Amino acid sequence: MPIDEVTISRRCSNCGTEIEVVAVKKDNMMLSSKEFVWCPKCQAEHPEVRDIAGRLESIKTEQESYPLSTTVAPDRSTAEK
């Protein structure tokens, strides 16, 4: 099987949800797209982001390493009554 196809992941540019994975010929591979996709998570149309599916793992790892933006602000005065 010749390796002339690449797997492209189409994701929502807003939340990163993977919409679909498509296999395309390398010659037709276009990672820059102006197309819009319907994102079931956002419930809206957003510009799609294309990436080679094989690279998703590194992206996920990168995202998970981001610190969570939690706002820890215990209100002591009310907690102690």
CA-CA distance, 75 to 81, in Å (whole number)? 10
Number of other CB atoms surrounding residue 72 within 10 Å: 4
CB 65 to Zn ion: min, Å: 21
Backbone dihedral angles phi then psi of residue 26, each to the nearest 5 degrees: -55, -40
- 39 part of the interface to Zn ion, by CB under 5 A: yes
CB 36 to Zn ion: min, Å: 11
- 14 part of the interface to Zn ion, by CB under 5 A: yes
- 42 part of the interface to Zn ion, by CB under 5 A: yes
Please say which residue, 14 or 33, places its beta carbon nearer to Zn ion.
14
